[in-house]
Structure 1
Amino acid sequence: MKPANIDADMPVDEIMRRWPATIRVFMRRQMLCIGCPIGTFHTIGDACDAHKLDEEAVAKELLSAMRQDAGATAPSAFDTADAREP
């Protein structure tokens, strides 16, 4: 799925799991979100605040990675088994 924007409520852990190419963005920006237990709660805004980064610039870079990610196959952690069944 090629997202049109980043859901402001989506945790960074969810973003990395669904769009693995975004992990490179977090690494390049020296963000410590990868494997962080708070990543299941922190949004992009929270993470940018914690790392003193420009949220708009990071979101733009993440969105670009998300749109180009050929490996984007993971389901959302927010999906339930009932919602996925036909």
Structure 2
Amino acid sequence: MVKITEDMTIMDVLRQDRETAEIFMKYGLHCLGCPGATMESIGDAGKVHGIDVSKLVEDLNKHFASKA
């Protein structure tokens, strides 16, 4: 099973499962194809956008757990 951490980039997660785009969008991270998505960690993106990173990571991990 995939374990998502806030140190991973958005693109790392999207490469594992494109369906996670909906989760990122729900949290206001809409620029999934921009250069930041490949270089910036989920934690850094969360800080810039003022979102609860721990909740985002939790939701991402729930998504992957449901696929196991």
TM over 0.5: yes
Answer yes or no: is the 8 Å Cα contact 2:46–2:53 preserved in 1: yes
- Higher helix share goes to which structure? 2
TM-score normalised by length of structure 2? 0.80
RMSD over aligned CA atoms reads 1.8
Q: Which runs of 5+ in 1 are unaligned?
A: 71-86
Percent pairwise identity: 29
| Alignment match, 1:68 | 66
- Structure 1 stretches of 4+ with a deviation exceeding 6 A read none
TM-score normalised by length of structure 1? 0.66
Q: Which runs of 5+ in 2 are unaligned?
A: none
Structure number with bigger Rg: 1
| Alignment match, 1:45 | 43
Q: How many residues end up aligned between the 2 structures? A: 68
| Alignment match, 1:27 | 25
